[in-house]
Amino acid sequence: MTTYQYLIGRNLWVRSDPRWNAAIEMFALPLFSDRERAAIMAAVDFEHRHIDWEAIFATAESWARPKQILLHIAHALFEDGDCQLAVLGQLNTAERAAALMVIAERYR
């Protein structure tokens, strides 16, 4: 079972919703520790189809800047907003590749 599959559990509808799929794909990246991922997922309510982005950003305030950037990209993808691709320059190669993969998946 992949991390993504673990995160969505029985909520298979996530796969067919590009906004949700992008957010969960970003949360599933191995760049986040299990502890960080658990904190993120505490703000995800599949039943009511709601993500408390303010809670996620508040939780992530002390995290490394690249992780904060990835969360902001996830938020932009979820809200159909501008991903501010210029911030990708602040990520290392692996982080940038992961972000681009999720962005590409969102808009394919």
Instruction: With respect to residue 8, please indicate whether it lies within any of the assigned structural domains.
Output: no
* Domains identified in the chain, total number: 1
Q: Which domain holds residue 32?
A: 14-106
Instruction: With respect to residue 3, please indicate whether it lies within any of the assigned structural domains.
Output: no
Does 64 or 108 have the greater pLDDT score? 64
Does pLDDT of 31 surpass 90? yes
Instruction: With respect to residue 55, please indicate whether it lies within any of the assigned structural domains.
Output: yes
Q: What is the mean pLDDT of the chain?
A: 95
Instruction: With respect to residue 9, please indicate whether it lies within any of the assigned structural domains.
Output: no
Instruction: With respect to residue 4, please indicate whether it lies within any of the assigned structural domains.
Output: no
Region 11-19: what's the mean pLDDT? 95
- Residue pLDDT, tens place only, 45-96: 999 999 999 999 999 999 999 999 999 999 999 998 787 888 999 999 999 9
Instruction: With respect to residue 6, please indicate whether it lies within any of the assigned structural domains.
Output: no
Does pLDDT of 100 surpass 90? yes
Instruction: With respect to residue 54, please indicate whether it lies within any of the assigned structural domains.
Output: yes
Is the distance from CB of 84 to CB of 72 less than 8 angstroms? yes
Q: What percent of the chain has pLDDT above 70? A: 100
Instruction: With respect to residue 30, please indicate whether it lies within any of the assigned structural domains.
Output: yes
Buried (b) or exposed (e) across 5-30, using 16+ Cβ within 10 A? Answer: eebbeeeeebeeebbbbbbbbbbbbe
